[in-house]
A and B are shown apart, each in its own frame.
Chain A
Amino acid sequence: NAGVTQTPKFQVLKTGQSMTLQCAQDMNHNSMYWYRQDPGMGLRLIYYSASEGTTDKGEVPNGYNVSRLNKREFSLRLESAAPSQTSVYFCASSEEPNSPLHFGNGTRLTVT
């Protein structure tokens, strides 16, 4: 029972480089989310997808793009990484918006 799987676990980028964070869930959930977690600030929503084929901005979307590739997969792309994007990124999913969230183990990203 894998749940929510994120890759990679760790990543170091130089300023201006691009990368894609991958997320897949095997629970047949409709909704998927990308959060970032910074010390002392809690988790903040970057983007979410309420269902396959739809995506919407969250609280902090600037500098990011997302793709809901199919029902299982939801990727997050940084086109031109900045030091302010150094953070821990979490993907989550839920059966519907009013259901419990299930989280992956996170991707620790450092931008130098």
Chain B
Amino acid sequence: KQEVTQIPAALSVPEGENLVLNCSFTDSAIYNLQWFRQDPGKGLTSLLLIQSSQREQTSGRLNASLDKSSGRSTLYIAASQPGDSATYLCAVRGVNNNDMRFGAGTRLTVKP
């Protein structure tokens, strides 16, 4: 059974800092990995999706990397802003099913 872990559970940084969020998964037989942002009381917004054949994806100040062999992905946020404060979740889709397994998320606070 695929297990997805996100550490740390919470992170607080000053505005302007570059930061890395971590995601690890136990089964490397994946179809893709997706990073989401969730604001309080809201649904999830897709940020980046990395196919299993890809090593990274970029969107603006966000860069997500994937290392299947080690079961790890990172989300890099450059020049963080208070508006980046949210919970960030990663999810992994396995090759043998239609189920995306989610981590519990990292709650990010960017202080002005």
A53 lies within 8 A of chain B by Cβ: no
A60 smallest CB distance to B (angstroms): 11
What is the CA–CA distance of A93 and B102 in the complex, to the nearest angstrom?
16
CB < 8 Å neighbour of B89 from A43, A44, A97: A43
Known interface pairs A97-B31, A98-B31, A100-B34; A43-B99 also in contact (CB < 8 Å)? no
Report the interface size for chain A: residues with CB under 8 A from the other chain: 27
Q: Which of the four size classes fits the interface of chain B?
A: 20 to 34
What is the CA–CA distance of A101 and B32 in the complex, to the nearest angstrom?
12
**Contact residues in B for A100 (Cβ distance below 8 Å):** 34, 46, 49
**Contact residues in A for B44 (Cβ distance below 8 Å):** 43, 90, 92, 101, 103
Known interface pairs A97-B93, A98-B93; A104-B43 also in contact (CB < 8 Å)? yes
Residues 11-44 of chain A, each 1 if its beta carbon lies under 8 Å from chain B, else 0: 0000000000000000000010101000011111
B47 smallest CB distance to A (angstroms): 9
B29 smallest CB distance to A (angstroms): 14
**Contact residues in A for B105 (Cβ distance below 8 Å):** 42
Contact, CB under 8 Å: A102 / B46: yes
**Contact residues in A for B36 (Cβ distance below 8 Å):** 101, 103
Interface residues of B in 1-55 (CB under 8 A from A): 4, 31-32, 34, 36, 41-46, 49, 51
**Contact residues in B for A42 (Cβ distance below 8 Å):** 4, 89, 101-105
Known interface pairs A97-B98, A103-B43; 7 further A-B residue pairs with C-beta atoms within 8 A, sorted by A's residue number:
A4-B43, A42-B101, A42-B102, A48-B99, A59-B99, A97-B93, A98-B31
Residues in A lying within 8 Å of B, measured CB to CB = 4, 31, 33, 35, 40-45, 48, 50, 56, 58-59, 90, 92, 97-106
- Pairs A–B under 8 Å by Cβ, sample size 6: A4-B43, A44-B102, A97-B98, A98-B51, A99-B49, A100-B46
Nearest first, the 4 closest Cβ-Cβ pairs linking A and B are: A103-B43, A42-B102, A43-B102, A103-B44
